[in-house]
Amino acid sequence: MKHRVVITGMGIYSCIGTTREAVCASLYEGKSGIVYLPERKDFGYRSALSGWVPTPDLKKCLGRRERASMGQESEFAYVATLEALEQAGIDEAFRAEREIGILYGNDSVAGSVIEANDKIRHKKDTTLVGSGSVFKTMNSTVTMNLSTLFELRGVNMSISAACASGSHAVGLAFMLIQSGWQDCIICGGAQEINLFSMGSFDGLGVFSMREEEPTAASRPFDAARDGLVPSGGAATLVVETLESAIKRGATPLAEIVGYGFSSNGDHISTPNAEGPARAMERALKNAGMKADEIHYINAHATSTPIGDANEAQAIFHLFGSETPVSSTKGMTGHECWMAGASELIYSTLMMQNDFIAPNLNFENPDSYSAKLNIIAQTKSTPIGAFLSNSFGFGGTNSALIVKKL
């Protein structure tokens, strides 16, 4: 028996807002969260552009010992998860009674690793890094912290899949719940934004150099795009069986109906069109849907010349020129490990409120994006089902389909 899988809680902590309400308003208004950070220039970055996310104050809700094990990505994830659990109506008593799992996307802990090793290098004494350091410097730090703080007893693992990490985390949660292995899973993605987090990425020369116009720098699908803008934060979704939600009186927000994945088996960083197309095709097949039943596509498009062009080709191949398409990265920049989860939340907020957020800074199409129905201005329209894409280094691809209930 296959179980229906619904979303009952969402939490978001991003550069366009740190609550669902603030984020929804930013999406509708087409508000950018991208800024210029002088400290990055001083540090040696080619591009000092980034999405800016405030540091949460956790002193009021967590003790020093608990905070000592948490790096920036875990702090972001904790706040997002609190919001998601509250909306889902899952409290401490419920968590004690039920087995709840956690699958969270994360693919770096650069800040914590460098800070710890700098201290050892300077002091010549490993004991001075503190007992919490080891838990901050492991890639599984988010699930490690959240599973203990929320006393979770179900599946517990981190998903490391580059910029598709958050999407795969949701997709794998969907599969485990659909198959009956778990009733309820907390899933999502987190991304650090500290000074050390994006240095090597910047060294590839893939970041936008439009530093004099931060809010115009991220230009998905636009002919004048010159690279992505890094960003971060965290996004958490509570997903569970429809039966579970109904039984406990929770309100289902939307239903996850399809998940598709693929690997390009090609270049380590340069994407192609065939791999993403297979992921989207598999998601449609998994959902039992046809292309014309998708009312909106939230594109992965990061504002890179090759990546956007190849995704445009893949979308056109499967969906043609009619389906509305936009990339929210024009507003947020590329939220990397969290992007797949955050963009699922962004799209669900749009679906709940009957609008499509704009593909910010889309002014002139290139030969590939000209074939698509790119939404350049906020459009009021009902969305019955959407598809969200996430692709990452190593050629990993993920596509999720969500329907309105």
Domain boundaries, the chain: 5-403
Mean pLDDT throughout 37-59? 97
Q: Which residues contact 113 (CB under 8 A, 6 or more apart)?
A: 137
For residue 61, what pLDDT band results from cuts at 50, 70 and 90?
very high
Tokens of 90: 């899952």
Distance CA 277, CA 296 (A): 16
Q: Which residue has the higher pLDDT, 364 or 270?
A: 364
Mean pLDDT throughout 298-327? 98
* % of the chain surpassing 70 pLDDT: 100
Q: Which residues contact 89 (CB under 8 A, 6 or more apart)?
A: 8, 9, 248, 249, 250
Catalytic (active site) residue 163: yes
Distance CA 247, CA 125 (A): 55
Mean pLDDT throughout 227-242? 98
CA distances in angstroms from 297 to 140, 301, 403, listed in the order given: 30, 11, 12
Compute φ and ψ for 389, nearest 5 degrees: -100, 145
Tokens of 255: 């239903």
Q: Was domain 5-403 assigned CATH 3.40.47.10?
A: yes
Mean pLDDT throughout 346-369? 98
Mean pLDDT throughout 176-202? 97
Say whether pLDDT at 109 is over 90.
Answer: yes
User: What are the tens digits of pLDDT across the range 134-153?
Assistant: 999 999 999 999 999 999 99
Tokens of 11: 């939490």
> Residue 1 has what pLDDT?
83
Catalytic (active site) residue 300: yes
> Residue 403 has what pLDDT?
98
Say whether pLDDT at 386 is over 90.
Answer: yes
> Residue 201 has what pLDDT?
95
Catalytic (active site) residue 15: no
Say whether pLDDT at 154 is over 90.
Answer: yes
Say whether pLDDT at 91 is over 90.
Answer: yes
Q: 219 near 225, Cβ under 8 Å?
A: yes
Distance CA 336, CA 60 (A): 29
For residue 15, what pLDDT band results from cuts at 50, 70 and 90?
very high
Average pLDDT, the chain: 97
Catalytic choice (24, 168, 300, 336): 300
Q: 219 near 324, Cβ under 8 Å?
A: no
Catalytic choice (15, 168, 187, 334): 334
Catalytic choice (15, 163, 184, 187): 163
Say whether pLDDT at 202 is over 90.
Answer: yes
Q: Amino acid identity, residue 397?
A: N
How many residues are present in the chain?
Answer: 405
User: What are the tens digits of pLDDT across the range 156-171?
Assistant: 999 999 999 999 999 9
User: What are the tens digits of pLDDT across the range 263-293?
Assistant: 999 999 999 999 999 999 999 999 999 999 9
Mean pLDDT throughout 210-231? 98
Distance CA 333, CA 375 (A): 17
DSSP state of 55: P
